[in-house]
Amino acid sequence: MLTWEATGVGSHPGQDHLEAARVVFGEVPGLPYLPELPARGVGADMAGRTAALLVDLPVEVQPSGWRLTDRPGRDHRRAVDHLRRDLDGLEEVGHAYEGPIKVQVCGPWTLAGAVELRHGDKMLSDHGAVRDLTASLAQGVADHVAEVRRRLPGVTEVVLQLDEPGLPGALAGTVPTASGFGRLAAVEEWRAEESLRAFPDPVVHCCAPAVPYDLLRRAGVRGVSVDASLVRRREEEAVGSAVEAGMVLLLGVVPGTDTRLPGADVVAKPALELWRRLGFAPDRLSGQVVLTPACGLAGASPAYARAALAACRKAAQVLRDDPEGESRGR
């Protein structure tokens, strides 16, 4: 039986990594995670943070963004320092923790659309470059997971989340070239499936429309993390097939930026209604659905970030105790 219940997508507001870690461990103890703080600037953004994990593929910031370079420079070192500091904070706050923990990295297709070759277009334009990037990232992720386990010996498993908001665009051929005047060729689905298999049982987060559920199911990913409001009726058959195959659904049920949060029953409602439409038994709901914010919380206030995670945890209690939604309206 899955015990994650609720978690966050990854990013948090502000620059205090210790406070972010305290909020995470306090509000979503079923599946805490290593928070990301992009407000710290270069190297703390999604692409730069993940590029710090790459093995033998150093990057540097150019006017157009991140680009491969011959040797690690100042920006690469800054990204490594941010990550090391975050791991120090994770160890300080979670030293006595026992249970699963989640780490997030930019997935290979989104990263390939964000990083440029040394003297050319984006890495996404070159199949060989994407293969090299995927292999480098897979090794870097394995090292990262081992470091988390070393620092937190009570951790029972490290759940890997691949952030892939750029995957639908890569598959559709809508990713702009480095110049911005053209579009890169669409990626064949088999290539995306193959690359995802390089990572051990990942959860794939995609907050963009047109999530490729069938592709993710064929790739054997452990779960898919989506904004519940973006799940269209025409996609529900694919979602149902994913659930039937045993995939976990991490459903974003509260906004990622400040708003007035309703009660737990209302927060849980999108998950309850989707589950009912899919036609699965209510007693399976809490074992296969995990509640999260709709996306990262970097654009929220610190108070709202805490409240959003707490709202997800309380709504998850509704899924567990009231899987048929009988308390709705109370």
pLDDT computed for residue 327 by the predictor: 57
Among residues 145, 123, 248, the alpha carbon closest in space to that of 199 is found at: 145
- Give the span between the Cα atoms of 58 and 56, in whole angstroms: 6
106 is a domain residue: yes
330 residues of the chain, pLDDT tens digit each: 577 999 999 999 999 999 999 999 999 999 999 999 999 999 999 999 999 999 999 999 988 889 999 999 899 999 999 999 999 999 999 999 999 999 999 999 999 999 999 988 999 999 999 999 999 999 999 999 999 999 999 999 999 999 999 999 999 999 999 888 999 999 999 999 999 999 999 999 999 999 999 999 999 999 999 999 999 999 999 999 999 999 999 999 999 999 999 999 999 999 999 999 999 999 899 899 999 999 999 999 999 999 999 999 999 999 998 778 765 543
Instruction: Assess if residue 217 is contained within a domain.
Output: no
Classify 328 as helix, strand or coil.
coil
Q: Is residue 230 part of a domain?
A: no
Position 190 in a domain: yes
The pLDDT, as a whole number, for residue 99 is 96
Q: Are strands 289-293 and 155-163 parallel, antiparallel or unpaired?
A: unpaired
User: What is the domain count for the chain?
Assistant: 1
Q: Is residue 227 part of a domain?
A: no
Inside any domain, residue 113 = yes
Question: Which pLDDT belongs to residue 329?
Answer: 44
210 in a structural domain: no
Instruction: Show the domain range for 160.
Output: 41-200
Residue 244 lies in a domain: no
Instruction: List pLDDT tens digits, range 130-177.
Output: 999 999 999 999 999 999 999 999 999 999 999 999 999 999 999 999
What gap in Å lies between CA 129 and CA 296, rounded to an integer? Answer: 28
**Residue spans of alpha helices (H) in 45-120:** 46-51, 74-94, 108-112
pTM: 0.96
Q: Across the beta sheet with 99-106, what order do the strands follow? A: 99-106, 155-163, 203-205, 223-227, 248-254, 289-293
Q: What is the pLDDT of residue 120?
A: 83
